[in-house]
Amino acid sequence: MRFVSLLALPLLVATASPVLAKGCIRGAAAGAVGGHMVGKGHAMLGAAAGCAIAHHHYAKQARAQKAAARAH
């Protein structure tokens, strides 16, 4: 049951706004594995943190690409 809820959150975010959720699924998967390795019950927290961190990374990367495109 936890596995289903672990997949539900990132998929819900990705389907709600595909543009804003870039990297969320990949980050959530990595965070869930990391949280699972840390201890029981930490997979959900890891998935949420991984989603947020990966989204931030991809958003920052997109801003840098837009700035580079404007400079040329």
Question: With helix as H, strand as E and coil as C, how does the chain read?
Answer: CHHHHHHHHHHHHHHHCCCCCCCHHHHHHHHHHHHHHHCCCCHHHHHHHHHHHHHHHHHHHHHHHHHHHHHC
Token output for 32 = 């869930």
pLDDT score, position 20: 55
pLDDT score, position 64: 93
pLDDT score, position 39: 82
Q: Please report, for the chain, the start and end positions of each structural domain, with discontinuous segments joined by +.
A: 2-71
Give the whole-angstrom CA distance, residue 69 versus residue 63. 10
- Best CA proximity match to 47, nearest among 58, 37, 62, 61: 37
For the entire predicted model, the pTM comes to 0.64
